[in-house]
Chain A
């Protein structure tokens, strides 16, 4: 081994503490990068494999009732690879010990064969036996949520008649990774069941012998989905087609996509920040090393080593540290990515996991860390080049402060000498101070942005469940009912107030933009479920025209005064051209509102309602729910607090977990930089501090020189951190906002307060730690050494 390389190893050993710390920062950056990208690509790969293996349809076409022969016609559409017809419908499941009946979707399974499309993954038991009408498959997530097992008996109301079924199999399905009850926004394993029955049994129950009410289509590879949708719609139109839609718009898939989108947004923001910090730390360490070794460098050069050789020596050091960190990060990233993907597998109800690490994430992790090292190292190498052997051999000259002198001389009258020392040091090393300031500000920005988004979530909950929806219980009917039903509800036990609504499924269109949602008819002066403006004031429903949620208006690219086209998917299915009267503020979903009478008029069905919001005496829930079980028209009952809890859970789990992790990691970086700056400035000034102590400065007075610098760094970092955090919160909020909810952005003093306090705390703790070191300084020993 060459002598210089031996020196390299010894140097590494000597600075092992610092080198280790930097390698760890690099490693964490690479780890996050590899872990996040590994997890995301695993989730995407698993989803693709799952969909393919269980033949999830590309197009879903609900219809009122179409004869089996239409399936052949559908199969003839160009681009269609396979077609399956099935029967599906709503049901209410009674669970022992639950005071509320649970809504369910019932699906048919072909009796003599496996389904061509939308097959299920049987995790336990078997499929219903041929000819059995009382055997069901139950969705695993629901079975789990209610502790239901094979052999248990379930009673369900289908199409008005109550029947009992035996659970013969527990199934998972790519179609139901997330389950959301119709008319509700938030997926909730416990409050929506999926059951599979033999096709004949179901056809009989729904009176659909020889017919289907949903067609599933898969497409040939590369086929365009839009023309297929049009063709399907025109074929099924006369059978009551409810509008075909693509997998992309399917509820569960859409949900998973949004989650993955949120994870991607997080994974982009964080690793670069770590790499920046690592580059900064490398720069500091190597730069200190070079100035401490100036004599050695001079000597080596005097022996005849070239600048390049000497530079390469230090460069190797930097790159070795970065590579060690990157290797550690890659290993850790694979491990953590696999662990995390496992967690998400459970959370997203995936029956298996295809773990895949994108090899390019290793490459980019290593590349970025080497780049960080190079950036950190290059400025140091300039110092090496600049050293001539002669200069290097002379005793170290005092650091030259003459350039910063004039600037602060002006402040002479009101600054004492220690303050001037602090200020001059800051002015002499603006790059370093700037680095520390940016590092701390980045950490603070990251954590405050994550916290802003968290408190934005609380706003979503408060606005949705506190301001807009002021009811206690919502009821939906199987089909539209006469408005006197609302009066019947009012007589049920504990009901204080009833407010009917009429909601219809609809596709809203503006030119080429369209959104598959619903239109809700509200009564005059609605109090329990309202449309509100940005100031949370009621919006009165216009006699004509429609009120759109802001998110919906944005999706459609439309504003107040424009006209929107509404294809109603129920009744005589009119196509309405409506003027947008107002834009409503909502943070969840993308609703559209009309006056209930105007909606009914347009449908030609006066005096009809589809559900109601109720205010209920808190003590009367059990009595009310048992009474509601006996009302045959009631399809679903939702307690608002359950919906709110489900939403909260959703926000905290999944992509939400990452937010906590990121906020925490950001806190750790911030502390690391603050402490490191304090340490470095201590290391560089220990001699000056010792001199001060010799002159009779107290420990506290000497500490001021160090802590003053730290204080300036922190004071500069705080406002920049606020700005960064504010900007970043927009990006993170946008990354996390989905169809389901929109995270409001804005300045959130509490988030910045917490993040700022954390920075100040980090500074205080670092200050205290460093002050303790000042107390331990051996004055005599420090002054005796030459540097």
Chain B
């Protein structure tokens, strides 16, 4: 955490000519058209861009859910493109936390148990209680997803993602299904986690205002990066204007 200020920042992700093509021939969709990118460790990076521009595709490849058609993607010094399926699974298990727009909680497990689902298999997890405290869900830990509001469910999803002490946290439109107050609270939690755990965070959103909390903002269009801006002054999520 404080290391970042004293030592030169390490790179969490580095990509070279990353390309993704879905389908073949006339029906081929070029979701990524050669993405070159560096993500320094410990930063919050926000990806902005129109719908269909390839943001999710990039996130999924970096998160080890999908494979690039061409180009290279490095996590630290490991080449994700060359990893076996098994190695990708282990990469996700040990390093990656995911938060999606639609929570994707296990309906048959309580909030607490959903978090334990991860702590049971991770290499270096925190206590499930602590993860739930981080997201401000102290009391409702024994409720099932069906008994919780959308914001609460999303906070459980975040707790579940961070409980493994992830190296990177991917959030694909985490506030997309939430009202603004709840969305702001969720972003707050993500911000805290970056600060307290030092995790690198990548957030996809099309709410441009979210960019104000990022260290770095990547503008995406048509499968390629249009521009990258670094924020000199970051705004706390509480102050973001929606």
Residues of A within 8 A of B (CB): 395, 397-402, 404-405, 409, 416-418, 420-421, 424-425, 428, 687-688, 690-699, 701, 779-780, 783-784, 786
Contacts of A401 in B (CB 8 A): 107-109, 144, 146
Whether B66 is near chain A, meaning CB under 8 Å from some CB there, is: yes
Answer yes or no: B201 CB below 8 A from chain A CBs. Answer: no
**Residues of chain A with a CB closer than 8 A to B66's CB:** 779-780
Is there a chain A Cβ closer than 8 Å to B5's Cβ? no
When distances are taken between beta carbons in the complex, the residues of chain B under 8 Å from A418 are 117
Q: B128-149: which have CB < 8 Å to A?
A: 142-147
B121 and A398 within 8 A (CB): no
Q: Is the CB of A695 within 8 A of B107?
A: no
Q: Which of B92, B102, B107, B109 contacts A417 (CB 8 A)?
A: B109
Q: Are B146 and A399 in contact (CB under 8 A)?
A: yes
Cβ < 8 Å to A, chain B residues 93-108: 93-94, 96, 98, 100, 102, 104-108
A690 to B144, CA, bound (A): 20
Is the Cβ of A696 less than 8 Å from the Cβ of B65?
Answer: no
Contacts from B to A (Cβ < 8 Å):
56, 60, 63, 65-66, 86, 89-94, 96, 98, 100, 102, 104-110, 113-114, 116-118, 120-122, 142-147, 153, 160, 164, 177
B146 close to A397 (CB less than 8 A)? yes
Are A400 and B93 in touch, CB under 8 angstroms?
A: no
Q: With the chains together, A303 CA to B127 CA distance in Å? A: 50
- Nearest chain A CB to B87's CB is how many angstroms away? 11
Task: State how many angstroms separate the Cβ of B186 from the closest Cβ of chain A.
Answer: 17
B122 contacts A416, C-beta separation under 8 Å: no
Do the beta carbons of A780 and B120 come within 8 Å of each other?
A: no
Q: A404 to B113, alpha carbons, bound, how many Å?
A: 14
CB pair B147–A402 under 8 Å, yes or no, is yes
Question: A421–B109 contact, CB under 8 A?
Answer: yes
Residues of chain A with a CB closer than 8 A to B104's CB? 687-688, 690-691, 694, 783
Complex A-B: 23 CB contacts under 8 Å? A395-B177, A398-B105, A398-B153, A400-B147, A401-B146, A402-B147, A404-B108, A405-B142, A416-B120, A417-B109, A417-B120, A420-B113, A424-B109, A690-B104, A691-B106, A694-B98, A696-B90, A696-B96, A699-B89, A701-B121, A779-B66, A780-B56, A786-B102
Expressed in whole angstroms, the minimum distance between the Cβ of B80 and any Cβ of chain A is: 14
CA distance A402 to B109 in the complex (A): 9
Residues of chain B contacted by A420 (CB below 8 angstroms) = 108-109, 113
A694 engages B106 (CB within 8 Å): no
Could you tell me if B146 and A400 are in contact, using CB atoms closer than 8 angstroms? Answer: yes
Residues of B within 8 Å of A409, CB to CB, are: 142
Contact A695 B98 (CB under 8 A): yes
Which of B86, B98, B108, B118 has most A Cβ within 10 Å?
B108
A699 to B114, CA, bound (A): 19
A sample of 20 more A-B contacts (CB under 8 A), given A691-B106, A694-B63, is A399-B107, A400-B107, A400-B144, A402-B143, A405-B144, A417-B114, A417-B116, A417-B117, A420-B108, A688-B106, A692-B117, A693-B89, A694-B65, A696-B92, A696-B96, A696-B164, A697-B89, A701-B121, A780-B60, A780-B65
CB distance from A111 to the nearest CB of B (A): 89
Which residues of chain A are within 8 angstroms of B100 by Cβ–Cβ distance? 783
Of chain A, the residue at the smallest CB distance from B116 is A417
Which residues of chain B come closer than 8 Å to A783, judged between CB atoms? 100, 102, 104
Chain A residues with Cβ under 8 A from B96's Cβ? 696
Which chain A positions have C-beta within 8 A of B153? 398
A782, closest chain B residue (CB): B104
Q: Which A residues lie within 8 Å of B98 (CB)?
A: 694-695
Count chain A CB atoms within 10 A of each CB in B86, B109, B142, B143 and give the residue with the most: B109
By a CB distance below 8 angstroms, the chain A residues around B105 are 398, 691
Q: Which of A398, A402, A421, A688 has the most CB of B within 10 A?
A: A398
- Which 6 residue pairs spanning A and B have beta carbons closest together? A696-B93, A398-B107, A400-B146, A398-B145, A696-B92, A424-B108
Closest to B117 in A: A417
B29 to chain A, nearest CB (A): 13
A405 CB contacts on chain B under 8 angstroms: 110, 142, 144
Tell me if B113 and A417 are in contact (CB < 8 A): yes
- Interfacial chain A residues near B117, Cβ < 8 Å: 417-418, 692, 695
Nearest chain A residue, comparing its CB with the CB of B59 = A780
CB A337 to nearest CB in B, in angstroms, measures 48
Bound together, the chains give a CA A402 to CA B94 distance in angstroms of: 31
Docked complex Cα distance between A424 and B106 (Å): 11
Known: A420-B108, A783-B104. Contact between A696 and B144, CB under 8 A?
no
Q: CA of A424 to CA of B108 in the docked complex: distance in angstroms? A: 6
Q: Across the interface, which residues of A come within 8 angstroms of B90, CB to CB?
A: 696
Q: Which of A695, A697, A783 has most B Cβ within 10 Å?
A: A695
Q: Which residue of A lies closest to B157 (CB)?
A: A691
Q: Which residues on the B side are within 8 Å of A398 (C-beta)?
A: 105, 107, 144-146, 153
Q: Which residues of A contact B118 (CB under 8 A)?
A: 695-696
Q: How far is the CB of B163 from chain A (nearest CB, A)?
A: 10
What is the bound-complex CA distance between A786 and B176, given in angstroms? 13
Give B150 Cβ to nearest chain A Cβ, in Å. Answer: 9
Residues A694 and B108 in contact, CB atoms below 8 Å apart: no
User: Using Cβ atoms and an 8 Å threshold, which residues of chain B touch A697?
Assistant: 89, 93, 121
A418 to B160 CA separation, bound complex (whole angstroms): 15
- The answer to whether B92 and A695 have CB atoms under 8 Å apart is yes
Q: Which residues of B contact A696 (CB under 8 A)?
A: 89-94, 96, 118, 121-122, 164
Given the known A-B contacts A695-B92, A695-B118, are A402 and B144 also in contact in the complex, defined by CB atoms under 8 Å?
A: yes
- In angstroms, how far is the closest chain B Cβ from the Cβ of A778? 9
A692 to B120 alpha-carbon distance, docked (Å) = 12
Q: Determine the residue in chain B with the shortest Cβ distance to A425.
A: B108
**CB-nearest residue of chain B relative to A424?**
B108
The answer to whether B92 and A698 have CB atoms under 8 Å apart is: no
Tell me, rounded to whole Å, the shortest Cβ–Cβ distance linking A100 to chain B.
Answer: 73
Report whether B108 and A698 are in contact in the complex, using a CB–CB cutoff of 8 Å: no
Residues on the B chain within 8 Å of A780, using CB:
56, 60, 65-66
Q: How far is the CA of A395 from the CA of B94 in the complex (A)?
A: 32
CB-CB < 8 A to A428: which residues of B?
A: 108
Q: Which residues of B contact A695 (CB under 8 A)?
A: 92-93, 98, 117-118, 121, 160
With the chains together, A429 CA to B168 CA distance in Å? 38
A256 to B145, CA, bound (A): 66
Contact B108 A399, beta carbon cutoff 8 Å: yes
A359 to chain B, nearest CB (A): 51
Closest A-chain residue to B170, C-beta based?
Answer: A694
Bound-state CA distance A318–B96 (Å) is 46
Q: How far is the CB of A182 from chain B (nearest CB, A)?
A: 72
CB distance from A327 to the nearest CB of B (A): 40
- With both chains docked as a complex, state the minimum distance between the C-beta of B202 and any C-beta of chain A, in angstroms: 15
In angstroms, how far is the closest chain A Cβ from the Cβ of B141?
A: 12
Q: Which residue of B lies closest to A775 (CB)?
A: B85
A783 to B96 Cα, complex, angstroms: 16
Q: Which of A694, A698, A783 has the most CB of B within 10 A?
A: A694
Q: Which residues of B contact A698 (CB under 8 A)?
A: 86, 89
- Chain A residues within 8 Å of B121, by CB: 695-697, 701
Q: Which residues of B contact A701 (CB under 8 A)?
A: 121
Inter-chain CA distance A399–B107, complex, in Å, is 6
Instruction: Collect the chain B residues with CB atoms within 8 Å of residue A399's CB.
Output: 107-108, 146
Contact (Cβ within 8 A) A421 B108 = yes
Given contacts A398-B107, A416-B120, A780-B60, contact A694 B144 (CB under 8 A): no
Instruction: Report the bound CA distance from A691 to B109 in whole Å.
Output: 13
The distance from the CB of A218 to the nearest CB of chain B, in whole angstroms, is 75
Q: How far is the CB of B156 from chain A (nearest CB, A)?
A: 11
A395 to B90, CA, bound (A): 33
Complex-state Cα separation, A360 to B56, whole angstroms: 63
- The smallest beta-carbon distance between A45 and chain B, in angstroms, is 58
Q: Which residue of A lies closest to B148 (CB)?
A: A398
Closest residue to A403 on the B side, CB-wise?
A: B144
- Interface-central residue, A399, A425, A780, A784, by most chain B CB under 10 Å: A780
Q: Which residue of B lies closest to A427 (CB)?
A: B108
Complex: chain A residue closest to B89, CB-CB: A698
From A695, which residue of chain B is reached at the shortest CB distance? B118
Docked Cα-Cα span, A693 to B65, in Å, equals 9
